[in-house]
Structure 1
Amino acid sequence: MQLTAAHWVYLLGVVVILATMIARKNIVVPAVVATFLTALVFSGSLITGITSVFNASLVAATNLFNIFLIIALVTAMLHSLQALGADRKMVAPFRRVMRNGHLAFWGLAIVTYFMSLFFWPTPAVPLIGAVLVPVAIRAGLRPMAVGVVVACAGQGMALSSDYVIRVAPGLSAQAGGLDANAVADTSMVLSLVVGGVALLAAYALEVRKIRTPSPRLLAEWEGGAATASASGAAVQATAADTAATAGTSDAAEAPASAGTGRRWGRVRAGRARAAASTGGGTARPGGGTATLVPGEPEGHDPKGQEDADAPSTAHPRAATVFALLVPLAYLSLIAYMVVAKVSDPVPDLEAGQAAGLVGGVAAIIVFLAALVGDRAGFLESSATHVVNGLVFAFKAMGVVLPIAGFFFIGNGEFAAEILGTDDAGDGLLFDLVAVAQQHIPDSPFVAAFGILLVGLVAGLDGSGFSGLPLTGALAGSLGTSSSIDPATLAAVGQMGNIWSGGGTLVAWSSLIAVAGFARVPVLDLARRCFLPVICGLVAATLVAVVFFG
């Protein structure tokens, strides 16, 4: 196959985008410029080059809008649950389980995983930080260990599979022309392997450092607010900036979750002032600035029950009902999907149906929660939740469109529509891989670890999802030539990209939020996560080649 100038321009664009990621800069402008230059050289027409900038984002938006919509509906559901106070009640029963540091480690991991699987990690972090982190600290778990557990279970294990909401498998599959269900199933298994190895390694490193349960541990942790208040404010501000610029599905949720923290902060600040004025409480070190860090229980019950200052809800019965209804609804959905996979009489879900069920359930819950909470005004409040969810979805994922548009040019199915031609061949990226494969050892191990490395590098921008079109497209091209299932390769690349940039290895990702709630330095937390996560990724890649290749 003879490569043309368009192939070399496209390859140069990929290299520049990767270099920009490594430099920790936003990659939207390089992606748009690369799209323009590739289309210009391919067609020889300035008009085609300019229109391709628009067409690439349009094609990406057309193919990815289902992802945007489900993000919007799930976000709207979370907001409606927060209005009732049901979000806190969903995790409150788990507080009684954490009686020592060992139970706290694994209990925190399990709750974080399932909460993050349903609601994505960053919205779940404020909830876990406010309700469970103080309990884990008191039980004897060190703050650094708390950060590692939350990051690995939420930002890593739950987000890398994204099995319920299925944004990540959809992005990986779209770019490579693969079956999204196959990518999702393989990703689920690999994410459990990575997470299991990472958590076991972290536990082995931490087990000798677990302390005897004591209220003094919680008092010492809270007492650090005086020195951590300024850095905590900077952490929250940086998290918001990262979310606004990185444009990922997960990191960009920091603004929504930060609002919860500020709300609780104002409640606590008001009570602290009231206590100080009446002489009924002790002023907290750091004053009002400490309220930027949620999850600081005052008058904490040593038995691990509800905080003495936990705010009451105007709809306690409704909050309890929805706290039970939401997990049961989604657990039922997961149970159906599992039974459908292993049972012939039960029909399996077709492509897109799983996402449709998740979104449909979320929409119904939004309307029911608004009806219970706002009664006569539920029509307006329901619409507000949905609109806010849509706004958030485009803030969170909008920046992915021009990036995905560029990588879609490498796929022949989408390139023809973007470039305005009847036939774009197999795609520029496929052609490049076809030419380069004669120089690449025909080994599944080389292909799998190569895709893993690309995913890790692509995650260096701290976004988590922006590199999935690249790894998905590479997987679709390399799969047949390397004698390994392309869906497996896409899942491996997804592991590398999300575990790197989703919030475990990169300090400028949503890991900032985890560090803020655990009150540990984010760079130290990233270093502490490095060895367990890398061990997990290597193990999962070997599993992928041996059992799924």
Structure 2
Amino acid sequence: MNIDISSIHWIYLAFIVLIILFMIFKRDTTIVCIAGIFLIALTATGSLTASISSVFNSFIYAITELLSIILVISIIVSMSKSLMETGINDVMIYPFTKLIKSPTLAYWIIGIVMLVISLFFWPSPAVALIGAVLLPVALRVGLPALGVAVAMNLFGHGIALSGDFIIQGAPKLTADGAGIPVSDVVHASIPLVVIMGVVTTVTAFILLKRDMKKGILKSGTTVGTGEKNELFNPNLLSVFYRRFFAFLVPILFALDIIAMVVFNLQGGDATALVGGTAILILLLITAAGHKKQALEKTTKYLIEGLQFGFKVFGPVIPIAAFFYLGDAGFKTIIGDYLPKASQGIVNDLGGALASIVPLSKEVGAITSTIGGVITGLDGSGFSGLSLNGSIAALFGHAIGSGVATLTALGQITAIWVGGGTIIPWALIPAAAICNVDPFDLARRNLLPVVIGLVVTTIVAIFLI
């Protein structure tokens, strides 16, 4: 059924273009998104008071949709703080130090450990969790500090964060933007994450070994010394209890994965399971380590985690609020003002685009990749995920297939670019822990990431 494109549709499309332009010029998009919500509401309702209320309601809607993800990430960061302060993280990582015997083993072992831990703890806490322990070992066997930073970056902020299979924060944002289930995005992203990860990490390793042979990168401890875990208080837990919890924590999370498979838990259910486990671990560690001060310390950890969570998602909420208007959020936020035959603003625009421009899988995939690159330029990786989902839905409906694949491609691109692999100001955590220049790290990652994006885009074309 043909839907007439109304002024609401045109305003929505115009603000998408404006948001992209602002991101290209590295300007904040919060005011643009708020203005877009207000103007769309004013056009739909014709009421000034209703339009002002719609801006606030859109924030409530966005926070409600994202709250589970914000909360679980905050809780995991809180738990990470407790692991670092009690020294449990050092015990968890220590066995891997015995396996690192050469620069090659150092690169791949650090990368894989970073990948696994980042899936459960998120990359930013994971950098602190493993960097202080594994960096000195890698330096002793001849891997430059820049090589350690590359490994932690590509495996953590690249592979783990772009897939985000356990916590599912990224798939939640893109899926909501595209108006499809989170599970569809997760399944579609698996082959793309694997391709992107393999191509990027192997390319980076080859270039790293080449430059080490040429002497461009010098091995050993001359490059950096890393940072110690300054939070660690050896008086909190005995060696026995540190070892006990170092064994218990991964076991509990492994049981979570088994439960997800056995009981087919996905999306919000999977997130709730991980979050609940993290709370349980936090309470056990705090009770064992702080004893009489456990009540106060638990609150302190939770406050620090919530501060981190809202700091990360603060810029995301206004953008998500705008893009939720493109699908089911419109009726909840503004009301039933679209034409009766409308399938949602994004779907309507996609249908109209298909009737005007002959689109193809190639055009859709390349556009999703470019959109991901642009939205990643702000150095967040997450702030533009709703936009990427919206663009994917637009082109997917126009092509007639591949919405989930295009959504996953946009998600992967945005996070690899902005989540902390090639934008210097997003690389500071890994650069700081390895004592290297974030601009040097960005230059080192650039070519592998670009090659990976090209190959992944080509693969995505065949999967649509």
| TM-score normalized by the length of structure 2 | 0.91
Q: Is the 8 A contact 2:45 2:337 kept in 1?
A: no
Amino acid at match of 1:202: A
Counterpart secondary structure, 2:98: helix
Counterpart secondary structure, 1:132: helix
Give the alignment partner of residue 324 of structure 1, picking from 231, 239, 247: 247
CA displacement, residues 17-59 of structure 1 (integer Å, 9 cap, x when unaligned): 1111111222212211221122222322212221111011111
Number of the residue aligned with 2:332: 417
Give the alignment partner of residue 130 of structure 1, picking from 129, 132, 135: 132
Amino acid at match of 2:73: I
Give the alignment partner of residue 489 of structure 1, picking from 400, 406, 412: 406
Amino acid at match of 1:151: N
Give the alignment partner of residue 151 of structure 1, picking from 138, 150, 153: 153
Q: Is the 8 A contact 1:443 1:483 kept in 2?
A: no
Are 1:198 and 2:113 matched, yes or no?
A: no
Cα gap change, 1:203 to 1:217, in 2 (>3 Å): closer
Comparing 197-206 and 370-379, the one that deviates more: 370-379
Give the alignment partner of residue 61 of structure 2, picking from 59, 62, 70: 59
Q: Which 4+ runs in 1 deviate beyond 6 A?
A: none
Q: Is the 8 A contact 2:23 2:374 kept in 1?
A: yes
Amino acid at match of 2:150: V
Cα gap change, 1:125 to 1:50, in 2 (>3 Å): same
Q: Is the 8 A contact 1:81 1:322 kept in 2?
A: no
Alignment partners' CA distance in 2, 1:311 and 1:370: 13
Amino acid at match of 1:167: G
What percent identity do the matched residue pairs reach? 37
For the aligned residue pairs, the C-alpha RMSD in angstroms reads: 2.4
Cα gap change, 1:77 to 1:101, in 2 (>3 Å): same
Q: Is the 8 A contact 2:145 2:224 kept in 1?
A: no
Alignment partners' CA distance in 1, 2:68 and 2:117: 22
Alignment partners' CA distance in 1, 2:127 and 2:267: 30
Are 1:373 and 2:260 matched, yes or no?
A: no
Q: Is the 8 A contact 2:132 2:229 kept in 1?
A: no
Number of the residue aligned with 1:449: 366
Number of the residue aligned with 1:273: none
1:61-140 → structure 2 map (5 Å cutoff): 61-140=63-142
Alignment partners' CA distance in 2, 1:440 and 1:89: 59
Alignment partners' CA distance in 1, 2:228 and 2:209: 34
Question: Gapped runs of 5+ residues in structure 1?
Answer: 226-260, 268-309, 341-345
Counterpart secondary structure, 1:75: helix
Number of the residue aligned with 1:498: 415
Counterpart secondary structure, 2:142: coil
Counterpart secondary structure, 1:503: coil
Alignment partners' CA distance in 1, 2:358 and 2:434: 45
Number of the residue aligned with 2:46: 44
1:11-410 → structure 2 map (5 Å cutoff): 11-210=13-212, 217-222=219-224, 264=230, 312-315=234-237, 316-337=239-260, 340=261, 346-410=262-326
CA displacement, residues 102-152 of structure 1 (integer Å, 9 cap, x when unaligned): 111111111111121111111111233211122212212223322222211
Deviation of 1:200 (Å): 0.7
Comparing 473-482 and 111-120, the one that deviates more: 473-482
Alignment partners' CA distance in 2, 1:171 and 1:350: 15
Cα gap change, 1:53 to 1:26, in 2 (>3 Å): same
Amino acid at match of 2:187: D
Deviation of 1:531 (Å): 1.6
Q: May I ask how many residue pairs the two structures share in their alignment? A: 456
Q: Is the 8 A contact 2:185 2:408 kept in 1?
A: yes
Q: Is the 8 A contact 1:169 1:184 kept in 2?
A: yes
Alignment partners' CA distance in 2, 1:433 and 1:417: 22
1:437-476 → structure 2 map (5 Å cutoff): 437-476=354-393
CA displacement, residues 422-452 of structure 1 (integer Å, 9 cap, x when unaligned): 6563333332232222344332222122111
